Every structure is written in C-alpha cells, then in structure tokens.
Amino acid sequence: MLNAADALATGIGSGELYHVPQQADEADRELYSAIEGRLLVRWATYRERDPQLRRRKMEAARRRGEALRCSVCSFDFERTYGSLGDGYIEIHHVTPLHIAGPSETRLSDLALLCANCHRMCHRSRPGESWRTPDMLRDEMNQLGR
Ligand SMILES: [Zn+2]
Ligand SMILES: [Zn+2]
C-alpha cells in the first residue's frame, strides 16, 4: 500500500501522472454512499397480532360484495395491478395497539388501507399522534384530493 502511494507521489511529482479534477457525479457518490447489506442481529419486542383477523376482515368485505379497496382513497390493488393485486390490501388497527394495549380486537377495529394511506396514517411529527383513517380522509378532502 505504501509502495503504491510512493509510486503515485513519484509519478505526480515527475509529471507522468496528474490529478483530474473531481467530477460532479463522483462527488455525489462519495457524499451519499454508505455500506449496507451486512447481516446484523436485532433483538426486538413487538405487539402480538393475530393473522386470522386479517383474513377475516378481508372475507367480511367480500361477503358484503365489496371490493378490497382503501377506506381512505378507494385504491383497489386488483384494478391497478390485475391478478398480481388480487386479494391484496393492508390492514390497519384504527386504535394503535400501543395505545389499546393487550385487548380483544374486533373486525370493526380494523381498516382496509392501501400502502400509501397506511404509511400516512402512521406518519407523525414529534408530539403528534397517528392519524386515524377518518382524520386522513378529512385532511385529504380539505386539500381537495
Ligand atoms: Zn389509500
Ligand atoms: Zn397500521
């Protein structure tokens, strides 16, 4: 390594090698690169969830003859993605489990949401609590969406 550095220094000093000014895209790459993808082990606690509730919530919508679509924006995965989106919708606890604590969850405590609205319900600034789907829908209506 030192030999290579010495060789470069000698080359630059002799005029055989010269510095090429850093290009803009190189600078961006250096500023925004990071090592990712290593395997790490994480200890985590998480709230108990019952996967049956998801299936039953979707079945209840189907029994009522309703499409599986977002209760906020009406996005329907099957309409957009065809068979790939058939049967896909995200399930959201209207009262967050960290507030409800250990308790019995009813189907009426769950909402069908698309991925975007689901994220927006969970998005909050420090000190804010999560939005319910109704709150998010009201905010979107106020924005004329
Ligand atoms: Zn939505
Ligand atoms: Zn959720």
Enter the tokens of residue 119.
């994220």
Residue pair 105/71 in contact by the 8 Å Cβ criterion:
no
Of the CA atoms within 13 Å of residue 10, those in its CB half-sphere come to 6
Q: Give residue limits of the domains in the chain.
A: 51-142
Contacts of 67 (CB under 8 A, 6+ apart): 61, 76, 78, 79
From residue 80, how far is each of 74, 84, 86, 92 by CA, in Å? Answer: 12, 9, 10, 21
Ligand 2 centroid, distance to 92 Cα (angstroms): 4
Calculate how far, in angstroms, residue 69's C-alpha sits from the geometric centre of ligand 2.
15
- Global pTM value: 0.73
pLDDT over 90 percentage in the chain:
57
**Tokens in use for 126?**
């420090």
Q: Mean pLDDT throughout 51-67?
A: 94
What separation in Å is there between the alpha carbon of 93 and the centre of ligand 2?
5
pLDDT in tens, 83-141: 999 999 999 999 888 888 889 999 999 999 999 999 999 999 899 889 999 999 999 99
